[in-house]
Structure 1
Amino acid sequence: MTYKLVALDVDGTLLNDDHKMTERTMNTVMEASKQGVEIVLCTGRGPQNTIPFMEKMGLGGYVISHNGAATVEVETRKIIHQFEMDKKSLDPFMDYCRSKGVHFDVNTAFEMYVDNVDTLAGPVRHMYENFLMLPSNLPTWEELTEPVVKFTAFGEVADLDALFQEWSKWTPVFNMLRSGEYFVDLMHEQASKGNALKQLAAKRGVKPEEVLAIGNYYNDITMLTFAGMGIAMDNSPVEVKAAADAITASNNEDGVHEALVKYCLS
């Protein structure tokens, strides 16, 4: 099978545990692009801290950001599609986080907001620095004119386990998923990496069987199962590996390079 479109998760997949893209992996991704494969980064990050990786590789096209909630064109920064959340339905989730001391942020396609930027410290500030993001203070819903596409809770694993368990008992309003060990995301009920990838593939005239996807976490399962070839990193949880068609090396062992050489490069 000749794959025409390759969807790559970023953290834990394209990047190693030091949040770096190795020269070896970068060169292999660029070589796949030169051979005619369309590369799409498909990530929980926002476009503003995803597009720079595309630009570093000299790639245009699209990024699927916020776990599928917003698809953006690299060159123009134009939003191709976004899944808008009902802002006021977020109020009980925000109240819960505040009462439990769990940090959260609210995301539009290009902006990120927190309760109080001045109080960011320790692990929370370090997290934003790692992800190359500086949030702003959250305005009122009336003042926030842009659509909200993602809500993220961040904290210790035990706190997020309890939060996930509690919110799972609530009447479903949003798509809720673990996008990382320390993150729980809420999005529009139809927003997912798989749905966004399906829409983009159709827009690009690419059949599902011509799509290859590589990821490492629960938020990647929908794109791994949509793609004709879904590949899980060796650092993936067992449930993610079970959803994939194949396993590659870990993100610290250039697993993306290994997979692209095996399945895409002639």
Structure 2
Amino acid sequence: MIKLIASDLDGTLLRNGAQEINPEIFDLILRLKEKDIHFAAASGRQLYSQRCLFAPVKDEISYIAENGSLCICQGKVISKGIIERSLGLQIIKASREFGSCHTLLSCESRCYTDSDSQEFIRHMRDDLHNDIHYCPDLTNITEPFLKLAACDFHGTTYLLPYFKEKFGAQIDVVTSGNLWVDFIAPGANKGTALKRLADHLGIRPEECIAFGDQYNDIEMLQFAGCGYAMKDCAPGVERYADASTDSVEEVLQKLL
């Protein structure tokens, strides 16, 4: 029997660049809850952003945020991952040297950027609904680093190999959506966060379903008893899934 469903957002629930959740999902989440099936949003996005997206049901679901570096259930922190500060500062420096990308530093209280691009800041605030603060020198941030990410509006074709070559041996470097490369705290990913959440709720892996489309979803797809890859997922992601779909809503409707 299924008791827990976790879904990625960008490219999975949010299709074709959409920045608003299909309202049908809110009804499905409430219907699932009536059957004692818990829903968790799992994303590289900030917790604040996710709660904005799921506003009508924001207190009815759990959250795996920052690619697994923060897991929240019933308003309580279940797990947290931290990037070692000296490594984080190296990544920030390399991001600035790349030139055409924008750095995002995520902490528990909010996220920060040293980019003064109004296009980027507007995208973060208005499209992604992040609580973002401009800081010209990110080395001044003293909060623990939950996640670092780099955004290139031209895509990740050059960004990903650049960072993988520099830091791939030290930290997980993965794509998140079509514009982002994320650096994930050691031991923290969507799969480990989903396991922590399932353990907290007393749910077994075989009682879980997960949906995803990118490389940062692989561990979550592997953990769940049934993992669905989106049909237009990143190349190779489908190998880690049990099935494929082009609609999360359709699968949830069939389950109900």
Q: TM-score with structure 1 length normalisation?
A: 0.86
Match of residue 180 from structure 1: 177
Distance 1:23 1:148 in 2: 33
Please say if residues 64 and 193 of structure 2, whose CA atoms lie closer than 8 Å, have aligned partners that are also in contact. yes
Q: Report Cα offsets for 1:22-79 as digits up to 9, x if no partner.
A: 23333223211221101111111111111234441264342110010111234x3x32
The one-letter code sitting in structure 2 at the alignment partner of 1:27 is D
Equivalences for 1:123-134 in 2 at 5 Å? 123=120, 125-134=122-131
Identify the residue that residue 251 of structure 2 maps to in structure 1: 259
Equivalent-residue separation in structure 1 for 2:230 and 2:10 (angstroms): 11
SS in 1 for 2:158: helix
Residue pair 2:73, 2:197 contacting (<8 A) in 1 also: no
Give ranges in structure 1 of 5+ residues lacking alignment. 250-254
Instruction: State the identity %.
Output: 28
Who is 1:252 aligned against? none
Q: 1:208 to 1:4 in 2, by over 3 A?
A: same
Post-superposition shift, 1:147?
1.6
Instruction: Map 1:88-237 onto structure 2 (within 5 A).
Output: 88-101=86-99, 102-116=101-115, 119-123=116-120, 125-138=122-135, 144-157=141-154, 160-170=156-166, 172-237=169-234
**CA 122–145 in structure 1, closer or farther in 2 if over 3 Å, else same:** closer
Unmatched tracts of structure 2, length 5 or more: none
Cα distance, 1:105 vs structure 2: 1.0
Cα 1:34/1:88, change in 2 over 3 Å = same
| Equivalent pairs, count | 253
Structure 1 consecutive aligned stretches of length 4 or more whose deviation exceeds 6 Å: 139-142
Give TM-score, length-normalised by structure 2: 0.89
Residue type matched to 2:179 in 1? Y
1:150-171 superposed Cα distances (whole Å, 9 cap, x missing partner): 000000446x333322332335
Q: Give, as a single letter, the amino acid of the residue that structure 2 aligns with 1:105.
A: L
RMSD of aligned Cα (Å): 2.2
2:216 is matched by which residue type in structure 1? N
Q: Judge conservation of contact 2:69–2:147 (CA < 8 Å) in 1.
A: yes
